[in-house]
Structure 1
Amino acid sequence: MRLNPFGGPRRTAHADAVVTGSGSGIGRAFAIELGRRGGRVVCSDIDLDRAAETTELVAAAGGKAVEAACDVARIEQVIRLADTAEQWFGGPPTVVINNAGIGAGGPLIGDFPLADWQRTLGINLWGVIHGCHVFAPRLRAAGRGAIVNVASAAAFGAAPRMAAYNVSKAGVLALSETLSAELAGTGVSVTVLCPTGVKTNILQADSPMDELAERLGGTLLRWTGRPPAAIARTTLDAVDGGSLYVVPQIEAKLLWQTKRLLPGPYTRAAGLLGRIVR
């Protein structure tokens, strides 16, 4: 087993992992990559059939897996997921990946329906809060492990007409930073993933997005999106290295630095671009 820079075993080699939203996209890629690294994976998704498909792919990659249905917006289901994982592993997981999420965008603040705000925050933000609330104490008590929260470059990009999505992912970023501080010295690490385009089904029909947002998002994913497998590998390697932040693409890094160095001009430029595109 290879060692990480801190002298301990690689956290993602032969991991006992829980992955939410593993029925497709980045979540499925995480599960498969963990399987390639010899792991055992609880593949969780709101759609049990899709989770079952992922378990077969994990097995084909060399790992072991079991599927579990879970709506991360419901705390009782996340608790049940944690209990199921502990029963299967014989103890707490060593890696928890809070990945489940949906896309959202289109109307301006004030026009975007409050019901869609609540649904977006319920899955994208509260789903991650629930995952951290349930799993962090268990990993802390065990004195080892890693939590990976999937955010987005939208967490700091603040693009117009994506308010609910931006807020949800900014919350995940702040939550991850806070949790990392709270878990310092406990043997549990936290990593937050902030990608730009990843070729997934996040723009699926049941996401709260208008026609323009779906069209623009689809174009961006076709031209700039990276395969989810590459994002999963990069992130898990960063977990092994003890990194808090994973900003995997060049455009995401540029966005991060520009927003930090020139926050005022950046925001004005984003607003102008938003009006031009509309």
Structure 2
Amino acid sequence: MNVFGFGSPKRTVGADAVITGAGSGIGAAFALELARRGGRVVCSDLDENTAAATAKAIVDAGGSATSVRCDVAQIDDVTALAARATEWFDGAPTLVINNAGVGAGGTAIGEATLDDWNWVLGINLWGPIHGCHVFAPILRAAEPRRPRGIINVASAAAFGAAPGMAAYNVSKAGVLSLSETLAAELSGTGIGVTALCPTFVKTGIVESGRITAQSTQLADRLMRLTGFSPERVARTCLDTHDRGGLYCMPQPDARIGWGIKRFTPTVYTRAVGLTTRVTTS
């Protein structure tokens, strides 16, 4: 018996979805929620065991899912993911979620190593670039009567400009710009684009990233105090995508920061720098 529920006929209901970074955190939450909405899910992750675990959780609950190992920093892997998904769905996917990402922070520009820059940008920025490069043409060519969409997971760091997080900030700012440009290019095609920009989400990204001990402690404290669960973030983002929203900022602090930054960017940036010095001193 399928325990997953079915909702109203929207883009995220009954979707044939491909999700990167689906082995844990927000990616796993996306996968499980889409299955609850009656969708079929291709769960991909660099760690094939965690991807398989997410797919198994869906199948055990009566849903439909499969897993694929994919390193989003490698274009050949993303191309192979698209081919595997198209074969498994017996047609094009209708929803692609470029979610795979890593964390880094705690060192200033000029002190952070170029290896860290390359690692972060390779996954956080080139991953979504590869995903959009491969899947956007597939969605354009797909059956227009089926709702189609792309969700790119950015972050409030895309506009937050927090000191000590340059590589992460730059990667997420690129994802936000990528999403805005893609939305403009796909205008009128029926393909929706949403950029997810959360602040703190209760996932393991801090522990698994390249983050200094001091920054890890601060992030852990803020995550406990203000962080949303990945399930709540995934649901909010999918509902925003159904409404046709380009930006999804699930937490109030992200929306407030976005508004202040847009209207008083110089004041905002100075305030962030001063606040960070006080917080970390």
- Please tell me the TM-score bracket, short chain as reference: over 0.9
What residue in structure 2 maps to residue 194 of structure 1? 197
DSSP-derived class of the 2:206 partner: coil
Counterparts of residues 99-118 of structure 1 (less than 5 Å)? 99-118=99-118
Distance 2:7 2:64 in 1: 20
- Percent sequence identity over matched residues? 59
Counterparts of residues 1-278 of structure 1 (less than 5 Å)? 9-142=9-142, 143=144, 144-205=147-208, 207-276=209-278, 277-278=280-281
Q: How many residues align?
A: 272
Distance 1:81 1:96 in 2: 11
Native 8 Å contact 2:7 2:37 kept in 1 = no
Distance 2:38 2:80 in 1: 25
- After the TM superposition, which segments of 4 or more aligned residues of structure 1 sit over 3 Å from their partners? none
The residue type paired with residue 174 of structure 1 is S
The residue type paired with residue 188 of structure 2 is G
Distance 2:67 2:148 in 1: 21
Distance 1:157 1:59 in 2: 39
Native 8 Å contact 1:21 1:100 kept in 2 = yes
DSSP-derived class of the 1:169 partner: helix
DSSP-derived class of the 1:79 partner: helix
* Residue 61 to residue 261, structure 1, CA distance change in 2 (3 Å): farther
1:132-154 per-residue CA deviation (whole Å, 9 max, x = no partner) reads: 00000000111351000000000
Distance 2:160 2:180 in 1: 17
Native 8 Å contact 1:108 1:161 kept in 2 = yes
The residue type paired with residue 166 of structure 1 is N
What residue in structure 1 maps to residue 3 of structure 2? none
Shift of 1:2: 6.0
DSSP-derived class of the 1:203 partner: helix
DSSP-derived class of the 2:155 partner: coil
1:206-247 per-residue CA deviation (whole Å, 9 max, x = no partner) reads: x22111111111111111110110111111111111111101
Native 8 Å contact 2:72 2:78 kept in 1 = yes
